[in-house]
Amino acid sequence: MDKFTTLTGIAAPMPLVNVDTDMIIPKQFLKTIKRSGLGVNLFDEMRYDQDGNEIPDFVLNQPQYREAEILVAGDNFGCGSSREHAPWAIKDFGIRCVIAPSFADIFYNNCFKNGILPIALPQEAVDVLMKDAEKGANARVTVDLEAQTVTTSDGEVFTFELDSFKKHCLLNGLDDIGLTMEKAASIDTFEAQAAQARPWV
């Protein structure tokens, strides 16, 4: 997995609540058996019309946001389906960080498996960042994972909370399965005990 340490980039504003994973990547793109190549279809039905032409008003189609690496959004981002195609599409587009007042549980976890940092901040802080993002491409936002801070283009700093294990894995680009495999003896022991206690499982 790719490491995430610091990021300074363009933030795209998406002031919508309940952005669901069907919006992020519609189902017709789930028929792939690969993880790559989904960026072009990120937010497909909001980004393109029925004939496949770009909808100019959509934020990621605007010239100043085409290279966005950070997305600022409303409450409950990533709700709905468990599809990991959502973070795959976000990453493939080039976005490495999503900032919102809250995230849906499965999407939030999926981000960390793909080198994406989801940052939950209070509504008031997100409102400030949303305004900053609306300034366009010259307003660069900086995210520092080690320090757990987000800094606006005006130098205003917000501190965010993050689970220490998730932070450690993201900072170092660690592979979860490899880490768990190191604890195989614990799993063996548990499995043997569980087979005694609940042999019907």
Partner 1 sequence: MSPKTLYDKIWDAHVAHEDEDGTCLLYIDRHLVHEVTSPQAFEGLRMAGRSVRAPDKTIAVPDHNVPTTPGREDPKNMTEDSAIQVAALDKNAKDFGIHYYPVSDIRQGIVHIVGPEQGWTLPGMTVVCGDSHTATHGAFGALAHGIGTSEVEHVLATQTLIQKKSKNMKVEITGKLRPGVTAKDITLSVIGKTGTAGGTGYVIEYCGEAIRDLSMEGRMTVCNMAIEGGARAGLIAPDEKTFEYVKGRPHAPKGAQWEAALAWWKTLYSDDDAHWDKVITIKGEDIAPVVTWGTSPEDVLPITDVVPSPDSFTGGKVGAAKRSLDYMGLEPGTPLSEIEIDTVFIGSCTNGRIEDLRAAAEILKGKKIAVKRAMVVPGSGLVRAQAEEEGLADIFRDAGFEWRLAGCSMCLAMNPDQLQPGERCAATSNRNFEGRQGRGGRTHLMSPAMAAAAAVTGKLTDVRELM
114 is a contact residue toward partner 1 (CB under 8 A) = yes
One-letter identity of residue 36: S
Q: Is 54 in the site for partner 1 (CB under 8 A)?
A: no
- Helix axis angle for 105-112 and 164-172, nearest 10°, is 40
For position 135 contacting partner 1 by CB under 8 A, the verdict is no
| Candidate ranges 33-41, 51-59, 91-99, 137-145; the one touching partner 1 (CB under 8 A) | 33-41
**The binder of partner 1 chosen from 2, 54, 124, 176 (CB under 8 A):** 176
Sequence-separated (6 or more) residues with CB below 8 Å from residue 83: 21, 25, 30
Measured CA to CA, the distance from residue 87 to residue 114 in angstroms comes to 7
**Calpha distance 24→152 (Å, rounded):** 25
By CB under 8 A, name the binding residues for partner 1.
15-18, 20, 22-23, 26-28, 30-35, 45, 50, 74-76, 79-84, 87, 102-106, 109-110, 113-114, 123, 163-165, 176-177, 179-181, 183-184, 186-187, 189-191, 194, 197-201
